[in-house]
Structure 1
Amino acid sequence: MVLSQEKINQVLKTALNKGGQFAELFFERKVSNQLSMESSKVETVKTGYNLGVGIRVINGDQVSYAYTDDLALEALLETAKVAGAASKYHDNVVINNLKKSKYDSPHQIQIRPETIEKLKKKEVLETVDQSARGIDERIQQVMVNYVDYTQEVLIANSQGLFVEDERVRTRLMANAVAADGQIIQTGRETPGKHIGFELFEEYPPEEIGKKAAEKAITMLEARPAPSARMPVVVNHGFGGVLFHEACGHGLEADAIQKGSSVYANRIGEKVANEKVTAIDDATIVNEWGAFVIDDEGHPAQETVLIQDGKLTDYMYDFKTAKKEGRESTGNGRRQSYRNPPIPRMTNTFIAPGESTPDEIIGSVDKGLYAKSLSGGQVEPATGDYTFTVAEGYLIENGKITEPVRGATLVGNGPKSLHRITMVGNDLKHAPGMCGKEGQSVPAAVGQPTLLIEELTVGGTEREGE
């Protein structure tokens, strides 16, 4: 153990020396490896090392935070003094004896990334590159990025909590660019999980390169998308980013308590079609956004946010939960020891329904099939959104027909939840990095195939095409 229990006790006592109701120590050691390839050449080979301690003191609504990368006792005590300096003195400062808790991890790592030589990781990049370029001569560029990291955390606080966790994540990101004259299209594949190098047993590199290139070529040959209000079928997996961005952040407790969410004070109300159940679950084995404990030391858990269309709960960290006299939902997360924790999503998804994808598509006479989404913009206070369809197809007479490019989905998150009329049985998750208040953390999105009965589709089709 890098920090002894005795040293941690001293730090917590020093942090509360001037008063305060709560003190917390967060230790992090993180080793990351990154390799990137562009133009069939390795551009980056980088190893990162993060080591440090963050100290937080809470006194009422006041939060003070300080951090250091020096683990010497003198430096830690000085950091604790800085964190506790703003606290107002009161007579009820209590520090409980630390009691170490141990949680068994369900996230078994078969092939630890640090045991794999960089040359082997380079071979993964080369395989993706060659596979993508071999699909079609119109593939002009391939960019591949590999990353793995092992993060060890230790969390202790003045209430006696003392826990540790290890997170191992591996991800591959492939972008294939196809060009034909003035038309340029990109296809992406980005698998990642809370596992080691065995990721590539589930997602073979040659398949990743092939799929990325095929997407780019399909969209290169697609005709411009029409503009209209129409039914939209959103594919499973990364389609869940629409719910994550347009609705998920509004269900985080800090937004609720600030009054900046359309979901504030609406527990028990109908906020979606009765076919919709939405869940945040950090316990999904080996999923990208999973962990054993959150970054405040609370056990990972499943939180049902919307049940059969009714709002049932929000996502809380320690501070927002304390304000309402309840327990954290295990959603306290931070980017690193340099950042205080805030309520964040983990693996957030719409639960599977009873319809098959074929039944959903077959119910649409004329609409759009959004097979994959890419970037988007969301107004957090209202849930208004615009998302780009990376791969889209027309649906005509209940069948997927020709591909279309340049489509965007324009709508409102809360309203779209009411317009989901069919939910598939093919739930799938997809990894991503979620940004909030300058912090980025791994979070998975997910959903089954679903039908939004009417949505504005913005397209690039010109009259007469």
Structure 2
Amino acid sequence: MQTSEMTEAVVALLKARPLDGWEVTAASSRLLSVEVKEQKVDTFKCSAPVGVSIRVLKDGGMGFSFSTSMAPGDLARMVDNALVGAATQTPDEHHAFPEPRPLPDIPGLYDETLASVPEADKIGRAMELERLVMAADPRVKKVRKCSFGESTVECRIVNSRGVDASYRGTSVSASVSAIAEEDGQSQMGWDFDYANHFNDLSVARIAERAVARAVGLLGAKKIATMRCPAVLDRYVATEILEVLASAFLAESVQKGKSLLAGKTGEQIVSPLISIRDDGTLPGGMGTLPFDGEGVPKRNTVLVRDGRLLGYLYDTLRARKDGVASTGNAVRGGIKSPPHMGFSNLFIENGTTSLDVLMAGISRGILLTDVMGMHTANPISGDFSVGAAGFLIEEGRVTSPVKGIAIAGNILDLFRSVEGVGDDLRFFGTVGSPSLRISALDVSGGND
């Protein structure tokens, strides 16, 4: 059954009930996951989940339910369950469904040819990736995990206020973990890439970056504790931004769980930093024409020249603050109701190369990896994590270092940014260019 048929069947049931409002979301998808090991298929998974979910509004309560069965009896039970949920929820006058608004035209979301690409070619992509990694450097001894994945999704959202939004999208991805060994030491390098179209996925680029990360840290030594200038490569900068990301969500702000609460209009980070969430960004992992409620995705500037301009909203949180939704309701799948999230959150690209960012540093550190950044406190912004990277001497990378730790506060760290790189890259739905920090406390293991 197509998403349009599923939707119409459920809409007919909801219109027969005395409701204050309703929403139907129907989705069908095809998912493929392949892992290879030593040029053989290790795992091969293919699924085609289909389902429908509803939200119903009754007397201020919002109820949710879903069904993966399209049998009439199961759909009727789904409606009954949603009504029970609405009756047991604490009423909130701000619960509502959005009105229809024009959707952005985002080309390139769907690869018409993906379905016709032979599965042997998709497996071949993963095998090619493994071959390229093993052939790139004699110090690479093995590949821990090499995978290819794809998804094809069709979704439609209809609500009682006239929203009727639908899209089709495809995505392909590949990832690899390379293990390099030398003189009894081993290091792992991981990388991945993502594209909407099969032919746009470059496994050569993935292999090159994974191998570079693995072999680059071979021979790493410990250093003494120091306070020094630092350059965060784009991966580390992204990891740190990801901790801050939840602070931009209006839900966190309204619940008193954001370190950015009450700071609208204030200078919160270096004037060199601008941050935006762009749900319309071409090629972005979080790019779609509309969010989990059918609200158009948009390009929202959150920080301009270091100053906080505002937050991200879904319909409920926007009504609480008397503003418009920014299209930031997301769904984890058909089995969960929409919740707040970001689309493609990133620090805007600068104009300085990585070499120029390091120039003028007589002794400092280039951080290329952090361990345990997820343990940072998203409410206070405080963090203390392990790290690895390279010593910078006289403006140049000289030797790899390991066993170091960095600690501080995310906003303080971003306030001390004195240079922004021109190498913006996304790691999932969060991205950043490299950043130069004026001073950072680096705890060594060689005191």
Question: Distance between the aligned counterparts of 1:249 and 1:95, measured in 2?
Answer: 23
List gaps (5 residues or longer) in structure 2.
none
Superposed CA offset, 1:307-333 (max 9, x none):
111111111112211222222111110
> Residue 42 of structure 1 aligns with which residue?
41
Query: Deviation of residue 252 (structure 1)?
Result: 0.9
Q: Indicate if the aligned counterparts of 2:237 and 2:435 stay in contact, CA closer than 8 A.
A: no
Question: Distance between the aligned counterparts of 1:59 and 1:312, measured in 2?
Answer: 35
Superposed CA offset, 1:125-162 (max 9, x none):
22221222223444232121111101111111122111
> Residue 65 of structure 2 aligns with which residue?
66
SS, match of residue 379 in structure 1:
coil
SS, match of residue 34 in structure 1:
strand
Query: Deviation of residue 408 (structure 1)?
Result: 4.0
- The correspondence for 1:157, drawn from 156, 159, 181, is 159
Equivalent residue letter for 1:157: N
- The correspondence for 1:319, drawn from 310, 316, 319, is 316
Superposed CA offset, 1:156-192 (max 9, x none):
1122111101221111111101234653210111111
> Residue 11 of structure 2 aligns with which residue?
9
Matches within 5 A, 1:323-338: 323-338=320-335
1:454 pairs with 2:439: yes
Q: Indicate if the aligned counterparts of 1:32 and 1:150 stay in contact, CA closer than 8 A.
A: yes
Question: Distance between the aligned counterparts of 2:146 and 2:262, measured in 1?
Answer: 45
Question: Distance between the aligned counterparts of 1:421 and 1:112, measured in 2?
Answer: 46
Equivalent residue letter for 2:435: L
1:422 pairs with 2:415: no
Matches within 5 A, 1:313-392: 313-372=310-369, 376-377=373-374, 378-389=376-387, 392=389
SS, match of residue 248 in structure 1:
helix
User: Over aligned residues, Cα RMSD in angstroms?
Assistant: 2.9
> Residue 440 of structure 1 aligns with which residue?
none
> Residue 435 of structure 1 aligns with which residue?
none
SS, match of residue 442 in structure 2:
strand
SS, match of residue 264 in structure 1:
coil
CA distance change for structure 1 residues 100 and 343 in 2, over 3 Å: closer, same or farther? closer
> Residue 221 of structure 2 aligns with which residue?
223
1:297 pairs with 2:261: no
Question: Distance between the aligned counterparts of 2:414 and 2:323, measured in 1?
Answer: 28
CA distance change for structure 1 residues 27 and 398 in 2, over 3 Å: closer, same or farther? same
Equivalent residue letter for 1:212: A
Q: Indicate if the aligned counterparts of 1:349 and 1:447 stay in contact, CA closer than 8 A.
A: yes
> Residue 181 of structure 2 aligns with which residue?
179
SS, match of residue 446 in structure 2:
coil
> Residue 280 of structure 2 aligns with which residue?
283
Superposed CA offset, 1:170-228 (max 9, x none):
111111012346532101111113x121223xx2x244224322321221222235433
SS, match of residue 49 in structure 2:
strand
CA distance change for structure 1 residues 141 and 11 in 2, over 3 Å: closer, same or farther? farther
Q: State the percentage of identical aligned residues.
A: 25
Question: Distance between the aligned counterparts of 2:215 and 2:393, measured in 1?
Answer: 22
SS, match of residue 346 in structure 2:
strand
SS, match of residue 82 in structure 2:
helix
SS, match of residue 136 in structure 2:
coil
Query: Deviation of residue 430 (structure 1)?
Result: 1.9
Equivalent residue letter for 1:123: G
CA distance change for structure 1 residues 60 and 109 in 2, over 3 Å: closer, same or farther? same
SS, match of residue 85 in structure 1:
helix
> Residue 134 of structure 1 aligns with which residue?
135
CA distance change for structure 1 residues 227 and 182 in 2, over 3 Å: closer, same or farther? farther
Question: Distance between the aligned counterparts of 1:369 and 1:95, measured in 2?
Answer: 49
CA distance change for structure 1 residues 364 and 105 in 2, over 3 Å: closer, same or farther? same
TM-score by length of 1: 0.86
1:254 pairs with 2:255: no
> Residue 410 of structure 1 aligns with which residue?
407
Equivalent residue letter for 2:242: H
Q: Indicate if the aligned counterparts of 1:394 and 1:403 stay in contact, CA closer than 8 A.
A: yes
Superposed CA offset, 1:283-323 (max 9, x none):
11112221111121111111111111111111111221122
Question: Distance between the aligned counterparts of 2:192 and 2:178, measured in 1?
Answer: 12
SS, match of residue 211 in structure 2:
helix
Q: Indicate if the aligned counterparts of 1:192 and 1:431 stay in contact, CA closer than 8 A.
A: no
CA distance change for structure 1 residues 60 and 319 in 2, over 3 Å: closer, same or farther? farther
- The correspondence for 1:147, drawn from 146, 149, 152, is 149
Question: Distance between the aligned counterparts of 1:154 and 1:458, measured in 2?
Answer: 52
Q: Indicate if the aligned counterparts of 1:95 and 1:158 stay in contact, CA closer than 8 A.
A: no
CA distance change for structure 1 residues 146 and 388 in 2, over 3 Å: closer, same or farther? farther
Question: Distance between the aligned counterparts of 2:215 and 2:160, measured in 1?
Answer: 58
Query: Deviation of residue 109 (structure 1)?
Result: 4.2
